[in-house]
Amino acid sequence: MPKTVILPMLADGEFHSGQALAETLGVSRTAVWKQLNRLEDLGLELESVRGLGYRIPGGLELLDAAEVRAGLSQRAGELIGDLLLLDTVDSTNAEALRQIESGRARGLVCSAEQQSAGRGRRGRTWVSPYARNIYLSVVWEFSQGAAALEGLSLAVGVAVARALESLGVPALQLKWPNDLLAGGAKLGGILLEMAGDASGACQVVVGVGLNVRMPERAAGEIDQAWTDLFQLCGEAPPSRNALLAAVLNELLPLLAGFEGAGFTPWREAWMARDAYADCPVVVRSADRQIAGTARGVDQRGALQLETSVGIQSLFGGELSMRPQA
Ligand code: BTN
């Protein structure tokens, strides 16, 4: 019995007796009990009360293709390819890259309840607990290679921020190159991966992770200041299906137009949300670090770092930025 069989019954947040669960699913009480244990292994909180049965306090919203599609704008509906909603996957970006290899990935959107090996930038792990956050990958084909894609990851940050703002999420900021922050803590991250010819026809996987309601246990694995929509929106974060649709409504038109327009039309909106504008920072790569003052980004999305020898233009790649101690 896959875990998704018992979950929709418990997703309503109401109590269900072991007997009722067993009867509805047509399995033994022991099988139900094993499934309930597995839910706890997934990090889902399960309450059991003698005489009432079991419930997931507050309920749970599972990903639902019909709900996502219902929230799409006409334009996003025209641009989207296949919509792949998975239960558990190693990484939605990895799955998207596999789909590219199989040749069926044009406009593919892939999301999952859980990632067992979620990827962050610079080889880090992206903590991806079950049914609580957003893990999204979108595949887009470009014809002019990597050079025409400068600034794309920054524009994606703007698109995601706009999507959240459209749902009433307050005061979002962007940290170069592509972190989404609220109150100085990380709310989301963006990871672009590429397949094909870096100087010609290529496919880009745009990966977006958003913390919606990070469970305590999973939060213990995060090694940086983080926040989630539950904290920002006072107990009632937007629905995950609505979030997926809102992000796609911004992201798909951005991807469709980026090769023509580049980062320039996005620059002002990025600068308006720049978390480190005019702040003393240190930019690190694997083998060196440069201190200076962050002065926004140029038309190509390069960080403008004012140093003792003048302005240096730095591109994201494997770089990271921290405030000076
Ligand atoms: C970062 O380090 O800030 C980037 C995090 C990107 C996480 C997302 S979640 C969906 C997609 N699949 C992955 O494995 N990673 C990205």
| pLDDT at 58 (0 to 100) | 82
Average pLDDT over residues 301-321: 91
Asked whether the predicted pLDDT for residue 28 surpasses 60, the reply is yes
Which pLDDT does position 66 carry in this prediction?
Answer: 97
Question: Quick one: pLDDT at residue 42?
Answer: 82
Stretch 231-241: mean pLDDT, rounded? 87
pLDDT recorded at residue 2 = 47
Mean pLDDT of 276-304: 94
Over the stretch 142-195, which tens digit does the pLDDT of each residue have?
999 888 899 999 999 999 999 999 999 988 999 999 899 999 999 999 999 999
Using the atom order of ligand 1, give the atom closest to the CA of residue 178.
3
Residue nearest to atom 15 of ligand 1 (CA): 119
CB atoms within 10 A of CB 184: 11
What is the atom index within ligand 1 of the atom nearest the CA of 128? 9
34 an active-site residue? Answer: no
Share of the chain above pLDDT 70, in %: 98
Pick from 2-11, 51-60, 226-235: least confident: 2-11
CA distance 270 to 297: 8
Pocket probe for ligand 1: among 86, 88, 90, 93, the residue whose CB has the most ligand atoms within 8 Å is 93
Burial class of 2 by CB neighbour count within 10 A (0 to 12, 13 to 18, 19+): exposed
Kindly name the residue from 55, 132, 162, 186 that is annotated as catalytic: 186
Please give the Cα distance from 94 to 100 (Å, whole number).
10
Candidate list 121, 162, 240, 267, residue with the active-site label: 121
- Sorted by where each starts, the structural domains of the chain and their CATH numbers stand as 7-55 (1.10.10.10), 65-271 (3.30.930.10), 276-323 (2.30.30.100)
Task: For residue range 195-217, list pLDDT tens digits in order.
Answer: 998 888 999 999 999 999 998 88
Taking alpha carbons only, the member of 309, 261, 252, 290 closest to residue 137 is: 252
Reported as a single tens digit per residue, the pLDDT across 118-151 is: 999 988 999 999 999 999 999 999 999 888 899 9
Q: What pTM does this model have?
A: 0.93
Average pLDDT of every residue of the chain: 92
Query: Is pLDDT above 90 for 275?
Result: yes
Nearest CA to ligand 1 atom 11: 207
**Residue 33: predicted pLDDT:** 87
3-state DSSP of the chain: CCHHHHHHHHCCCCCECHHHHHHHHCCCHHHHHHHHHHHHHCCCCCEEECCCEEECCCCCCCCCHHHHHHCCCHHHHHHCCCEEEEEEECCHHHHHHHHHHCCCCCCCEEEEEEECCCECHHHCECCCCCCCCEEEEEEEEECCCHHHHCCHHHHHHHHHHHHHHHCCCCCEEEECCCEEEECCEEEEEEEEEEEECCCCCEEEEEEEEECCCCCHHHHCCCCCCECCHHHHCCCCCCCHHHHHHHHHHHHHHHHHHHHHHCCHHHHHHHHHCECCCCCEEEEECCCCEEEEEEEEECCCCCEEEEECCEEEEECCCCCEEEECC
State the pLDDT confidence band at 55, using cuts at 50, 70 and 90.
very high
Binding site feature residues for biotin: 91-93, 115, 119-121, 186
Distance CA 246, CA 235 (A): 20
Closest atom of ligand 1 to CA, residue 90: 14
- Are 195 and 100 within 8 A, CB to CB? yes
Q: Is the pLDDT of residue 297 over 50?
A: yes
Mean pLDDT (whole number) for 310-324: 88
Give the pocket of ligand 1 (CB within 6 Å).
91-93, 115, 118-121, 124, 126, 135-137, 179, 189-191, 207-209
What is the pLDDT at residue 4?
56
pLDDT tens column, 59-102: 889 999 999 999 999 999 999 999 999 999 999 999 999 999 99
What is the residue type of 245?
A
Distance (Å, whole) CA 255 – CA 250: 9
Ligand 1 atom 2 nearest Cα: 120
| Token reading at 114 | 């859980």
Catalytic (active site) residue 295: no
Instruction: Report which ligand 1 atom has the smallest distance to the Cα of 117.
Output: 14
Averaged pLDDT, 98-109:
91
Q: Is 38 a catalytic residue?
A: no
pLDDT at 1 over 50: no
Whether the ω angle into residue 265 lies within 30 degrees of 0, i.e. cis, is: no
What pLDDT is attached to residue 308? 92
